[in-house]
């Protein structure tokens, strides 16, 4: 306890000060123990009253700390903080380098210092005990003995012996001792044995003798001129400044790379992944489906279609029909093409927030098939035909709703329910007459084609009337039936006739079975009744002759087919007679058969040929069919057909179908 009067410290149990005798009292107020404080503490009571009529009690909810939102982070502040962190790290590394350098210098100083170690006293040294001067002379003698190496040492002067190694003579050059030598003098630490008197520190501690590389550098530096020293100082300062500048540049570079890396990592984490695969929609149109994976609620924008989508459940699925790229009537983004394929490129963009930056994703490339608008030639059946009339009916079969242009005239409104459409075109006797045809069906590219109607130049004009028959659907009328019929019966027979005009005086001959050829030599008009016995196309050749001129001829084709009521009554069951038909195919040519089956595959489209299975699940019966009816077959559909035998195709009988009916 400290005495309040004299300030002396005394034991706590003493009643009075040991120095001045004043009573020792503790005036510091005592603190109550924790038991007393707890005992004296009054309980805290807080009473809350509630109104019974108040049914809505909203407890106070502490304010929640705002969640971390990476989109609200200010990039500039983050960059500044990173640069400050880099500077602090650099200063820390510099401080550590300085501390290491200082530690290295201390270690080198301890290794380079020369120490004089005191040797043990001889027995005759007792006379010098307690005398400082004697101690110094004794140390000097030991030094001389170590330096001289024994009794052959050179004697020193009295002044040197008086001054000794511990003198302050500036001309004196101390000797460096080897630390590894056990006989070398060493530092006297100021402590003696108990029988030796204490000596002063100045009389005992020797001076440190510098040596080694540091000492040599200091000597070289001291021996150099002021100009050299100034140059060295400037060089050192320049090196320090360059090092400091390099450190700053490196810090800025690494800080920038760190920020860019973090930004790229964030972008990579939020970057979408796009996949594409081909598919078919419910309406049968080819479609490509894009699946884009990305951050939830991100907005995806397709530049080519100018549409936006929102990612839900980590992805968004986009169906893009193929026809929207080439069908100009169904899509405003379509481009008219005339090739079978088309390369498509889609550029998607993604935005992760309303205010965020929009990123361009990897472009999507794929190739689509561009189907041509279907068109079938009915009249003529080939792109090249020889005609002998000045007006020719061109007939086509197209899809319903198509846009059809024949010889520059739009005939789309004339398409029938069966898909047939026709137009009468003029044909001049100048050789080839080119007729252009354009068909554009929905979800298809435009099909363009040309047909050539050849009408040779004629020295003798020869033409058929524009209303000449091209198709005959009635049963052949034999001469006996015609001759035995009355006049009224003959009018009802609808006997076909072919009429035309030629040069007055020219003679008309017909190379086809016919009767009742009538010719007016004054006007050049003529007519005759053909005899159709062959089902299908019948080529009727008409020739005009005149003396002194080359003959003129025309070939007129008439499709003869009795109506369905007459034709189907002659049909045999194809499934029941299948084996007999194959065995006697040559004898059955021209025979009419009826069969019901499913079209397995389409072989060709112009003319349409297909393979039908008329058998059942236990036994397959295949027939090759050529479609000459007005119905276009669809693969996988079941039909009832009526046709006449043409021959064999591989191992299957081949029929030419005249009538087709759809079945369940």
pLDDT tens track for 167-178: 444 444 444 455
* Buried/exposed code over 268-282 (b: 16+ C-beta within 10 A; e: otherwise): eebbbebebeeeeee
Tokens of 636: 């996988």
What is the DSSP track for 136-203? HHHHHHHHHHHHHTSTTPPPPPHHHHHH-TT---TT--PPPPPTT-TTS-----S---TTSPP--HHH
If asked whether residues 276 and 364 sit together in one domain, one would say yes
**Sole residue written with tokens 């401080």:** 95
Instruction: Give how many domains the chain has, as a whole number.
Output: 5
> How many CB atoms are located within 10 Å of the residue 127 CB?
8
If asked whether residues 401 and 439 sit together in one domain, one would say yes
**535 with 561: CB under 8 angstroms?**
yes
Exposed/middle/buried for residue 39 (C-beta within 10 Å: 0-12, 13-18, 19+): exposed
234 within some domain: no
What does the H/E/C string look like for 337-350?
CCCCEEEEEECEEE
CATH number of the domain bearing residue 610: 2.40.50.140
Give the pLDDT confidence score for residue 208 in this predicted structure: 43
Domain boundary pick from 513, 528, 560: 560
CATH number of the domain bearing residue 472: 2.60.40
**Sole residue written with tokens 């930004």:** 263
Helix (H, G, I), strand (E, B) or coil at 58: coil
If asked whether residues 546 and 598 sit together in one domain, one would say no
Give the pLDDT confidence score for residue 618 in this predicted structure: 84
621 within some domain: yes
Q: How many CA atoms lie within 13 A of 11 on its CB side?
A: 4
If asked whether residues 496 and 534 sit together in one domain, one would say yes
Helix (H, G, I), strand (E, B) or coil at 579: helix
Give the pLDDT confidence score for residue 535 in this predicted structure: 79
What does the H/E/C string look like for 186-241?
CCCCCCCCCCCCCCCHHHHCCCCECCHHHHHHHHHHHHCCHHHHHHHHHHHHHHHH
90 within some domain: no
If asked whether residues 312 and 357 sit together in one domain, one would say yes
Give the pLDDT confidence score for residue 567 in this predicted structure: 86
92 within some domain: no
Tokens of 455: 């009408």
Instruction: State how far the Cα of 82 lies from the Cα of 261, in Å rounded to an integer.
Output: 13
248 within some domain: no
Give the pLDDT confidence score for residue 545 in this predicted structure: 93
Domain boundary pick from 209, 233, 262: 209
If asked whether residues 386 and 359 sit together in one domain, one would say no
Taking the alpha carbons of 293, 299, 305, 307 in that order, is the dihedral positive or negative?
positive
Instruction: State how far the Cα of 578 lies from the Cα of 590, in Å rounded to an integer.
Output: 15
If asked whether residues 354 and 389 sit together in one domain, one would say no
13 within some domain: no
**114 with 147: CB under 8 angstroms?**
no
263 within some domain: no
- Which phi and psi (to 5°) does residue 54 adopt? -85, 105
Give the pLDDT confidence score for residue 544 in this predicted structure: 93
Parallel, antiparallel or unpaired: strands 638-649 and 592-605: antiparallel
Parallel, antiparallel or unpaired: strands 592-605 and 572-573: parallel
If asked whether residues 283 and 310 sit together in one domain, one would say yes
Parallel, antiparallel or unpaired: strands 447-455 and 384-386: parallel
Domain boundary pick from 560, 577, 602: 560
Range of the domain at 153: 123-209
If asked whether residues 572 and 554 sit together in one domain, one would say no
pLDDT tens track for 567-622: 888 899 999 999 999 999 988 888 999 999 999 999 987 678 999 999 988 889 99
- Which phi and psi (to 5°) does residue 629 adopt? -90, 180
If asked whether residues 573 and 549 sit together in one domain, one would say no
Give the pLDDT confidence score for residue 484 in this predicted structure: 85
If asked whether residues 575 and 556 sit together in one domain, one would say no
Residues of the chain with pLDDT under 50: 121-130, 150-156, 158-176, 186-212, 269
If asked whether residues 437 and 474 sit together in one domain, one would say no
8 within some domain: no
Tokens of 255: 């800080």
**495 with 469: CB under 8 angstroms?**
no
């Amino acid at each position: 306890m400290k005495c309040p009067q004299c300030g002396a410290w005394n034991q706590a149990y003493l009643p009075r000060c040991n120095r001045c005798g004043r009573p020792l009292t503790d005036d510091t107020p005592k603190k109550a123990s924790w038991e007393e404080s707890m005992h004296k503490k009054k309980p805290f009571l807080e009473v809350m009253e509630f109104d019974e009529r108040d049914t809505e009690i909203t407890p106070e909810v502490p304010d929640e700390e705002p969640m971390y939102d990476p989109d609200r982070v200010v990039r500039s502040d983050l960059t500044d903080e990173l640069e400050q962190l880099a500077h602090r790290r650099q200063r820390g590394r510099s401080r550590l380098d300085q501390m290491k350098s200082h530690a290295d210098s201390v270690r080198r100083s301890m290794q380079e210092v020369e120490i004089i170690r005191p040797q043990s006293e001889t027995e005759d040294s007792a006379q010098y005990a307690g005398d400082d001067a004697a101690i110094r002379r004794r140390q000097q003698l030991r030094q001389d003995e170590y330096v001289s190496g024994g009794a052959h040492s050179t004697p020193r002067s009295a002044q040197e012996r008086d001054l000794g190694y511990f003198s302050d003579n500036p001309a004196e050059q101390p000797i460096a001792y080897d630390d590894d030598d056990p006989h070398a003098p060493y530092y006297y630490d100021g402590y003696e044995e108990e029988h030796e008197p204490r000596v002063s520190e100045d009389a005992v501690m020797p001076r440190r003798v510098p040596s080694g590389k540091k000492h040599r550098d200091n000597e070289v530096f001291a021996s150099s001129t002021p100009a050299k020293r100034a140059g060295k100082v400037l060089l050192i300062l320049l090196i320090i400044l360059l090092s400091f500048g390099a450190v700053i540049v490196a810090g800025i570079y690494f800080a920038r790379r760190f920020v860019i890396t973090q930004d790229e990592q964030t972008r990579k984490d939020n970057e979408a992944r796009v996949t594409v695969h081909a598919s078919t929609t419910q309406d049968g149109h080819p479609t490509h489906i894009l699946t884009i994976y990305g951050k939830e609620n991100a907005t995806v924008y397709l530049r080519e279609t100018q549409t936006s989508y929102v990612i839900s459940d980590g992805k968004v699925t986009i169906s893009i029909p193929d026809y929207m790229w080439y069908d100009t009537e169904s899509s405003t983004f379509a481009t008219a093409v005339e090739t079978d394929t088309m390369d498509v490129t889609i550029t998607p963009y993604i935005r992760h927030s309303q205010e965020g930056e929009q990123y361009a994703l990897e472009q999507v490339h794929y190739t689509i098939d561009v189907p041509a608008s279907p068109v079938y030639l009915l009249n003529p059946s080939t792109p090249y035909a020889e005609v002998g009339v000045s007006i020719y009916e061109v007939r086509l079969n197209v899809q319903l709703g198509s846009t059809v242009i024949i010889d520059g005239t739009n005939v789309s409104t004339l398409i029938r329910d069966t898909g047939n459409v026709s137009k009468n075109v003029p044909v001049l006797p100048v050789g080839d007459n080119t007729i252009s045809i354009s068909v554009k069906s929905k979800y298809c590219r435009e099909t363009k084609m040309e047909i050539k109607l050849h009408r040779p130049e004629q020295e003798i004009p020869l033409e058929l009337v524009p209303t000449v028959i091209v198709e005959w659907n009635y049963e052949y009328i034999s001469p006996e039936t015609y001759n035995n019929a009355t006049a009224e019966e003959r009018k009802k027979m609808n006997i076909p006739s072919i009429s035309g005009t030629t040069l007055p005086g020219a003679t008309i001959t017909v190379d086809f079975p016919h009767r009742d050829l009538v010719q007016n030599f004054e006007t050049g008009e003529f007519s005759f009744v053909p005899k159709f016995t062959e089902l299908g196309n019948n080529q009727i050749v008409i020739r005009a002759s005149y003396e002194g001129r080359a003959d003129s001829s025309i070939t007129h084709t008439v499709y003869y087919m009795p109506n369905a009521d007459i034709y189907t009554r002659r049909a045999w069951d194809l499934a029941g007679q299948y084996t007999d038909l194959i065995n006697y195919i040559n004898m059955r040519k021209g025979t009419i058969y009826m069969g019901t089956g499913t079209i397995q595959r389409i072989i060709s489209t112009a003319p349409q040929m297909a393979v039908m299975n008329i058998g059942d699940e236990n036994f397959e019966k295949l027939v090759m069919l050529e479609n000459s009816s007005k119905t276009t077959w669809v693969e996988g559909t079941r039909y009832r057909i009526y046709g006449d035998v043409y021959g064999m195709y591989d191992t299957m009988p081949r029929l030419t179908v005249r009538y087709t009916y759809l079945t369940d």
